[in-house]
Amino acid sequence: MATLRERVKADLDAGRLWKARDRLAGVLRVDPTNQWALDQLGDVHYRMGDLPEAGRAWFLTARTGPEWDAAEAAFYERYGNRPANLVAALRVRAPIDRFPPAVQERLGLLQRRLKAEGRFWEPRVSVVAPVSAKRSLMSGALGGAVVILLLGALLIGLVSIVGFVIGLLTGR
Phi then psi dihedrals of residue 171, to 5 deg: 80, 20
The mean pLDDT value of the chain amounts to: 87
Is the pLDDT score of 165 beyond 80? Answer: no
Contact 93, 32 (CB under 8 A): yes
pLDDT tens, position by position, 82-133: 999 999 999 999 999 999 999 999 999 999 999 999 999 998 775 554 544 4
Helix axes 4-13, 17-30, angle to 10 degrees: 160
The domain locations on the chain are 4-116, 132-172
For residues 36 and 20, what is the distance between their CA atoms, to the nearest angstrom?
Answer: 13
Is the pLDDT score of 137 beyond 50? Answer: no
For residues 54 and 72, what is the distance between their CA atoms, to the nearest angstrom?
Answer: 8
Domain 4-116 class?
A: mainly alpha
Q: 3-state secondary structure string, 57-76?
A: HHHCCCCCCHHHHHHHHHHH
What is the average pLDDT across 12-28? 96
Is the pLDDT score of 142 beyond 60? Answer: no
What is the average pLDDT across 15-21? 96
The per-residue pLDDT for 135 is 47
